[in-house]
Amino acid sequence: MLSPIVSGLFVALTLAGCSDEPKSHVTLFVCSSMTHPLMEIETAFELTHPSIDLELIYAGSQTLAMQINEGADADIFISANLVQIQRISGFTEPTVLVENQLVAITANSDFTTVVEVIHSATQILVAHQDVPAGQYTHDALVQLGVWETTKHKIVSYEHSVQAVLTKMVMAQADLGFVYRTDAANANDRVHTIEFPSNISATTQTWVALKTDNEPDSPAAIAYAYITESIDAQRIYTNLGFTPIKDAP
């Protein structure tokens, strides 16, 4: 037979366990280039909103858009490409979340311009043009007038910008093109070269909320946190992104 003290404790713990409310789940489809900020935002958000659990699913923007159109359940879609986020239906009008910059990366710190390093390189890595980073790379190099020179030296079209960075860190090519934030994550293992100011190398990441979410729903609360909270803006800035509120 349990003592009164043990019995009372058992009842208290049982009642406490029964009083726990089930968490609400919010599913976010997130483009791969936003992996690091969204991981930090997930932690910060769930500390201040313990009753809401964020489930983050990462992939390329085009893959995520296809999955949503095929019926995948997503409350929020974050895309590195406006075309991909416009492909989906049943979501709010997409808005710009953050801006980034396309840069060249190389192991050789002697080069100071993109044109110079392209002419010197023999093996170049780029993301496939079906991937936003690949399209940005193609467009920037066309503007710079060096795409024809570059394409003959491309040894691989990668499925993601992270794959380009990984191979460059492993010294598998002379030159690669990634986002500024990706280059920063390489911890000085690559040398970064920026495009000239007259070349459009600014990239944008877009966000949209599923329209069937009420204004006070968990998904709407998460969306507001991601797009407007001071904590989220600080995370973006610390990782090298430009929050749209701070964009020139």
Q: For residue 122, what are the β-bridge partners?
A: none
Query: Which pLDDT belongs to residue 77?
Result: 98
pLDDT at 1 over 90: no
Domain ranges of the chain: 24-99+203-246, 100-202
Summarised one tens digit per residue, pLDDT across range 68-93 is 999 999 999 999 989 999 999 999 99
Summarised one tens digit per residue, pLDDT across range 32-68 is 889 999 999 999 999 999 999 999 999 888 889 999 9
Would you say the CATH fold of 100-202 matches that of 24-99+203-246? yes
pLDDT at 19 over 60: no
Confidence of residue 247 (pLDDT cuts 50, 70, 90): very low
Summarised one tens digit per residue, pLDDT across range 164-174 is 999 999 999 99
What distance in Å separates the CA atoms of residue 82 and residue 206, rounded to the nearest whole number? 6
Tell me, which fold does domain 100-202 have in CATH? D-Maltodextrin-Binding Protein; domain 2 (3.40.190)
State the chain's mean pLDDT as an integer: 89
- The percent of residues above 70 in pLDDT, for the chain, comes to 90
Query: Which pLDDT belongs to residue 20?
Result: 58
- The CATH code for residues 24-99+203-246 is 3.40.190.10
CB 228 within 8 A of CB 236: no
